[in-house]
Structure 1
């Protein structure tokens, strides 16, 4: 019987590392891992596992070296389901920082915010990072006062990352909520285990391509749009601002992206 993909992974960051093993998927290593659509701007971004990992490494280096973040620090992520949000989640888990999607900035050690959350992000007394979320990863026209502009800071970071201290599987990794709003706090090991349960429930494997329109602010969206596909060796298509698409447009997208499961 074939072992599950990334069967030995005990942290979310190790799930990404599994994609980069030689022959891990017996497929083209440049195949997309994350594809992102913003239907308000017409943007489409496609990242292979190798390219996605490069963004994660640069962002993790920014977190560790420039923002002085480390294990047990809490990062409030005021971000939509976006390819850069997925990068930030994996970067936090690579460093050992606890990711808190949609968390209260006042209770966090640092905050990472898109344009819509900048006002509330100012409640954080620690480091503040702003993401313009513009096509092609563009910068803000003018850097928001009191924030680092992620797009200006990340290009100069190193392409490889090594944490100063190993990330322990039993350390806290994620604070989120379930569908009824109840809090859910998970170690890295628990995050991976719950993602495995989700992948099995959804019937995912390495050939799966999951399209998600769900928010990253709760477990359902994190499972559908990132973690369950990662644990299965699958790929994901994230769609933002897509409420105006017709069923015909959806059908064309699902066909062109070879989607096997649509969630949201």
Structure 2
């Protein structure tokens, strides 16, 4: 952990400098059988491309709000850090009518149409596949993001004391978020190299912290599980063993 890191983007830069090859997010969807593992380097590349899409494609500016209508998913984790990189507020489950932009999953597309700004749709299909046809009123993230640059540079410095995240009625600055992530890492006893399995949804701070921020702050990694209730206890134990999980939150 680096005590000087004051935003999620800072935490990711420190993780990249420390060990780019280590796993950061391992994602399972037990409704589809999907498994995706992203190293720190691969995750950082997705963040850079997504931040460039935010800044250049959506013309998002620091202080604007992006409603993230997305479940616990590896691409949601990417969006959370990309928002921090640009300086926009990641409004998790936020009101799209009050947001400057919206990013919606396939089951919340109708809701997201209330946003009058730019709209991006994520299929959340295995391998990050695009929609067969872009949903009406949306651009397809999987079509737009591959052409973005692999290196991101913000046009304006990100203020660590500006709002960075809104979830469940709680709004945090980048600095508050980083401090909470480090505190949670200590509370969860996450040391460097630890593997935390989390099946908590991303609609609370606890879920976001366990599913991304605390492992990122600790130099640990997360095994992020969606639809874990479809897994038998025996298969869950096999996963814990095969993924070298050191602690679980389900």
What's the TM-score once normalised by structure 1's chain length?
Answer: 0.93
Q: Deviations over 1:141-198 (max 9, x none)?
A: 1100110100000000000000000101111101112xxxxx2111100011111111
Q: Which residue of 1 aligns with 2:132?
A: 141
RMSD, matched Cα: 0.8
Q: Secondary structure at the match of 1:15?
A: helix
Distance 2:31 2:131 in 1: 18
Q: Is residue 2:124 matched to residue 1:115? A: no
1:32 CA drift (Å): 1.1
Mapping 1:156-167, distance limit 5 Å: 156-167=147-158
Deviation at 1:111, TM superposition (A): 0.5
Please give the secondary structure, in 2, of the residue aligned with 1:20: helix
Question: Structure 1: any 5+ residue segments left out of the alignment?
Answer: 178-182
**Residue 229 (structure 2) pairs with residue 243 (structure 1):** yes
Q: Which residue of 2 aligns with 1:261?
A: 247
Contact 2:55–2:86 at 8 Å: present in 1 too?
yes
**Map of 2:15 onto structure 1:** 19
TM-score (norm 2): 0.98
Matches within 5 A, 1:4-43: 5-21=1-17, 24-25=18-19, 29-43=20-34
Structure 2 SS opposite 1:120: helix
- Corresponding residue for 1:81? 72
Match of 1:210 in 2: 196
1:168 is aligned to 2:154: no
CA distance in 2, matches of 1:185, 1:97: 13
1:188 is matched with 174
Q: For residue 144 of structure 1, give the secondary structure of its aligned residue in structure 2.
A: coil
Contact 2:31–2:230 at 8 Å: present in 1 too? no
Using the alignment, how far apart are the partners of 1:146 and 1:125 within structure 2?
A: 10
Separation in 1, partners of 2:230, 2:12: 33
Query: What SS is found at the alignment partner of 1:70?
Result: coil
1:44 aligns with 2:28: no
**Separation (CA, whole Å) in 2 of partners of 1:186 and 1:117:** 25
Q: How far does residue 208 in structure 1 lie from its aligned partner after superposition? A: 1.0
Q: Is the 8 A contact 1:6 1:233 kept in 2?
A: no
Q: Are residue 201 (structure 1) and residue 164 (structure 2) matched?
A: no
Q: Cα distance, 1:31 vs. partner? A: 2.3
Paired with 1:144 and 1:258, the residues of 2 have a C-alpha distance of 39
Q: How far apart in 1 are the matches of 2:247 and 2:110?
A: 36
Aligned structure 1 segments of 4 or more residues deviating by more than 2 angstroms: none
Does the residue aligned with 1:56 lie in a helix, a strand or coil? Answer: helix
Indicate the residue corresponding to 1:151 in structure 2: 142
